[in-house]
Amino acid sequence: MVNEERAFDPARRRVVKLAAAVPALWLAGCGGGDGKDDGDGGDGDREVRRLSSFYLETRDGTRIAADLWLPDAARTARIGTVVMLTRYVRSTGPGSPRPEDDPNYAYAQRFLEAGLAWMYVDARGTGASFGARGGEQTSAEIEDFGDIFDWIAAQPWSNGRCATTGVSYPGGNAELAVRLGNPHLVAAAPMFSYYDVYEHLSMPGGLYSRGFMDLWRDYVAALDRVDGAICKLGESMGVSDCDAFAESFPPVKPVDGPEGAALLAAAQREHQGNVSFPGTVDARGLLFRDDALGEVAWRNMSSRTYLDALQARNVPYHVRASWLDGGSADGALARFVTQRNPQDVYIGATSHGGDYGSDPFGAADAPPDPPAQEQDRLLMAFFQRHLATDAAAPEPARRLHYVTLGEPGVWRSTETWPPAGGTPTRLHLGSGAVLSPDAPADAADTVVVQDPDANTGTRARWDTVGNGERVRVDRSGSSGLTRFVSAPFAADGRITGHLQLQLELTAGRGDGTLIAYLEAIDPQGGVTYVTEGNLRLIHRRRAAAEPPGRPLRIPRSFARADALPPVPGERFILQLYLLPTSVRIPAGHRLALCLADRDTTHFDDYAGADAPPLVVHTGGAAGSWLDFLPLLTMSTLPGNPIMRSLRLLLALAAFACAPAAFAQAYPSKPVRIIVPYPAGGPVDALARRLAESLRTQTGQPFLVDNRGGASGSLGADAVAKAAPDGHTLLLTIPDPLINAASTLRQLPYDPHKDFAFITQVATTGVVLMANPDLKARSLSDLERAGRAHASGLSFGSWGPGSLPHVIGQAMVQKSGVNFVHVPYRGAAPALQDLLGGQIGFAFGPANLAAQYAQKGQVSVIAVTGKRRSSLLPEVPTFAEQRYGTPPFLLTAWMGLLAPAGTPAAIIDTLHRQVGAALKDPGFLGFLASLGAEPVGSTAAQFRQDFEREFPLVNQLIQSTGLTPE
Q: Which residues carry out catalysis?
A: 168, 325, 352
Which residue from 617, 535, 602, 679 is spatially nearest to 215, judged by alpha carbons?
602
The b/e string for 461-484 (b: 16+ C-beta within 10 A; e otherwise) is bbbbbbebebbbbebeebeebbbb
Return all residues near 859 (Cβ < 8 A) that are at least 6 apart.
769, 770, 771, 772, 774, 776, 777, 853
The b/e string for 138-166 (b: 16+ C-beta within 10 A; e otherwise) is bebbbbbbbbbbbbbbebbbbbbbbbbbb
How far apart (Å, rounded) are the C-alpha atoms in residues 325 and 471? 8
Phi-psi region of 754 (alpha: psi -120 to 50; beta: other; left: phi over 0): alpha
How far apart (Å, rounded) are the C-alpha atoms in residues 143 and 139? 6
Please give the angle made by the CA atoms of 624, 630 and 633, to the nearest 5 degrees. Answer: 110
Kindly list the strands in the beta sheet with 767-770, ordered across the sheet, starting from the edge strand earlier in the chain.
Answer: 819-823, 793-797, 841-844, 767-770, 859-863
How far apart (Å, rounded) are the C-alpha atoms in residues 853 and 128? 42
How far apart (Å, rounded) are the C-alpha atoms in residues 613 and 602? 20
Which residue spans within 507-623 are E strands per DSSP?
A: 513-521, 527-536, 571-585, 590-596, 615-618
AA identity, residue 643: M
**Residue 47 burial class via C-beta count within 10 angstroms: exposed 0-12, middle 13-18, buried 19 and up:** middle
- Are 96 and 48 contacting, i.e. CB atoms less than 8 angstroms apart? no
Using H for helix, E for strand and C for coil, what is the string for 398-431? Answer: EEEEEECECCCCCEEEECCCCCCCCCCEEEEEEC
Which residue from 308, 298, 181 is spatially nearest to 852, judged by alpha carbons?
308
Neighbouring C-alpha atoms within 13 Å toward the C-beta of 357: 20
Using H for helix, E for strand and C for coil, what is the string for 73-97? Answer: HHHCCCEEEEEEEECCCCCECCCCC
| Residues in the chain, overall count | 965
Residue 777: CB atoms within 10 Å: 12
Distance in Å from the first CA to the final CA of the chain: 22
E strand or H helix at 716? helix 713-720
Q: Which residues pair with 347 in a beta bridge?
A: 321, 402
How far apart (Å, rounded) are the C-alpha atoms in residues 786 and 457? 64
